[in-house]
Structure 1
Amino acid sequence: MACVLAIDIGGTKLAAALVDREGTVLRDGTVPTPRDGVMAALAELIARVTAGGPRPMAAGIGSAGPMDGVAGTVSPVNMPSWRGFPLRESVRELTGLPVVLAGDAQCFAVGEHWLGAGRGSASLLGMVVSTGIGGGLVIGGVPLLGPTGNAGHVGHMSVDPYGEACECGGRGCVERYASGPNLARWAREQGWRGPDAQALAADAEKGEAVAVAAFERGARALGGMIVSMAAAVEVTTVVIGGGVANAGKVLFDPLERAIEETAGLAFVKAVRVHPTTLGIRAALAGAAKLAWDH
């Protein structure tokens, strides 16, 4: 049976799967991401997933970044043992397969466009809103990866040039307002006493004023960025996943209002926002699709 090898590399887990042309997972596995020896753990996982199965035709990798798509190297923030690590070549040598490499949020977008909430969309922005905010674009059915493979870094689009300084060195970045840790940080600065964004969402659901205000503030930042993307490349569909998206209506209701209040042109107002339907499977699906297309 024809299949490809899909790999998803993150700071907390490594995942791999054999995936057929229709997107069906034939075999899969996950392991925690070790602090050191990441490649050895990945090699063992790949061997387990592929042992006794059909020979894959190619491999697709979605990895946390930053990355250099030209060189095929990655430097994931949460994986200190990998700095400028030659991931694409290492997997090619390990498997003997042609390999395509993209960011994990880009693979999320590709997966949702192929099999998920953005299926068949003419122009899609996929976003992962979690500890950070990443994204990817699929325009006319084709992933937009950019010259160095870093297109879609929507978390570091500025929505306020006079706003807060961001850890990336920029100012007024969406991530500074709408990521999970920054939602909770701002709420604590206003007197909220909870531990994290999950607790903040639960309090917002109950109507606690500061928690509600934190999500409205984050939603305005996300809405401003979405409106800007719609104006720039006529995005018609936005799919949002990640831990913060699990807040549900607490996030999506103020986000819908923010877009309506911010958008002016008719084609910008036409953008539609959906929660992920693939969840944690989206990045693997996107990596598989990139491998098939490759």
Structure 2
Amino acid sequence: MHTDTVAALDIGGTKIAGALVDGSGRILVRAQRPTPAQEDGEAVMRAVTEVVAEVSASPLWPSATALGIGSAGPVNALAGTVSPVNVPGWRGFPLVERVRSATGGLPVTLVGDGVAIAAAEHWQGAARGYDNALCMVVSTGVGGGLVLNGKVYPGPTGNAGHIGHISVDLDGDLCPCGGRGCVERIASGPNIARRALEGGWAPGPDGDTSAAAVAPAARAGHPVAVASFERAAQALAAGIAATATLVEVGIVVVGGGVAGAGEVLFAPLRRSLQDYAALSFVRRLTVAPALTGTDAGLVGAAAAAAAALRDRDGPAAVGG
């Protein structure tokens, strides 16, 4: 196996991370900045450029053969642009062109963050050994990616498997994407917290109003906190069941910050799947927590870049 290094960027509504990743999926160098999500597009790009500059300052940088980007979506891999729902300053933003310039012309591969996580989990995580899988991130947003017939399937524009914007409530709230009743509008971390606060849950002395703070309250049996997680699990189950029915995946891997709540989320998710995944070929669907942790986006972006090199030049280093 070759041991070339691949650079990676993981861009989300909360953080922008960068790394150099070797052929075994090991992160050699890393950098991170908060995402200035409510500022203009150039402010967000400056944060990306700072991350790239920090990573490229490493003496290992000359060994990098390509760069992969896993970005919150939707993305357009054909045009090299991104329009993340949670980053309003980027609409049709030419991210690939700008990153290519910042790296001195490295080949750049763009995929949605859910596709990156699918690549990471299929290579290194809970979906390893499965030919058909749905891998999800439940965090500030809800994303997903598909493995079909043994390969990560990004789709023509890099968005395939974007389960967060499947509608599961026809008369539900308007989602920032323009749809109604989307999985993300119900199951994302901010929406779990919003629903708990509206129902009367109160944060502790530290004032933390995130889903991470709602989780221990749910674990302790606070009825409003429990109900908010159960509603999120129901939305996830409906989206998962629809996806599994459509493409017959054998496993669903769930990662992201909200998945860190553990059984507070997974127990009601498995129960709700019994209601929604009713057909014989989806009843045995396995649900598992992701294993690649907070580095999934970086590892998966690197794997996507290496796969693009492999398709172009033959066997590649990372994830090959």
Calculate the TM-score normalised by the size of structure 1.
Answer: 0.91
1:260, distance to aligned residue in structure 2 (A): 1.9
Question: Pick from 116, 129, 133: which aligns with 2:138?
Answer: 129
Aligned residue runs from structure 1 range 25-44, under 5 A: 25-34=27-36, 35=39, 36-44=42-50
**SS in structure 2 opposite 1:58?**
strand
1:118 is aligned to 2:127: yes
1:37, distance to aligned residue in structure 2 (A): 4.0
Counting aligned pairs with the same residue, the percent is 55
Match of 1:270? 284
Letter in 2 for 1:117: A
Letter in 1 for 2:66: A
Following the alignment from structure 1 to structure 2, what is the Cα–Cα distance between the partners of residues 242 and 23?
19
**SS in structure 2 opposite 1:239?**
strand
Match of 1:52? 59
Following the alignment from structure 1 to structure 2, what is the Cα–Cα distance between the partners of residues 176 and 83?
20
Pick which of 65-74 and 167-176 moved more.
167-176
For these two proteins, the number of residue pairs brought into alignment is 294
Following the alignment from structure 2 to structure 1, what is the Cα–Cα distance between the partners of residues 88 and 177?
17
Question: Pick from 165, 175, 179: which aligns with 2:184?
Answer: 175
Following the alignment from structure 2 to structure 1, what is the Cα–Cα distance between the partners of residues 54 and 176?
38
1:151, distance to aligned residue in structure 2 (A): 1.9
Question: Pick from 89, 101, 120: which aligns with 1:93?
Answer: 101
Calculate the TM-score normalised by the size of structure 2.
Answer: 0.84
Following the alignment from structure 1 to structure 2, what is the Cα–Cα distance between the partners of residues 49 and 167?
33
Match of 1:240? 254
1:222, distance to aligned residue in structure 2 (A): 0.9
**SS in structure 1 opposite 2:19?**
strand
Pick which of 264-273 and 187-196 moved more.
187-196
Runs of 5+ in structure 2 lacking a partner?
204-208, 309-320
Pick which of 267-276 and 78-87 moved more.
78-87
Runs of 5+ in structure 1 lacking a partner?
none
Call closer, same or farther: CA 1:45–1:160 in 2, change over 3 Å. Answer: closer
Following the alignment from structure 1 to structure 2, what is the Cα–Cα distance between the partners of residues 81 and 209?
38
**SS in structure 2 opposite 1:57?**
strand
**SS in structure 2 opposite 1:266?**
coil
Pick which of 89-98 and 160-169 moved more.
160-169
1:199, distance to aligned residue in structure 2 (A): 2.4
1:116, distance to aligned residue in structure 2 (A): 1.2
Contact 1:126 1:137 in 2 (8 A): yes
**SS in structure 2 opposite 1:277?**
coil
1:153, distance to aligned residue in structure 2 (A): 1.9
Contact 2:13 2:140 in 1 (8 A): no
Contact 1:21 1:292 in 2 (8 A): no
Deviations 1:168-193 (A, max 9, x none): 33222222222222223333333333
1:4 is aligned to 2:6: yes
Deviations 1:245-272 (A, max 9, x none): 1111111001111112322223201211
Match of 2:224? 210
Question: Pick from 149, 162, 170: which aligns with 1:161?
Answer: 170
Contact 1:18 1:25 in 2 (8 A): yes
1:192 is aligned to 2:206: no
**SS in structure 1 opposite 2:63?**
coil
Following the alignment from structure 1 to structure 2, what is the Cα–Cα distance between the partners of residues 152 and 221?
16
RMSD of the TM alignment (CA)? 2.1
Letter in 2 for 1:232: L
Deviations 1:18-57 (A, max 9, x none): 2222212222222334555444443443343233214211
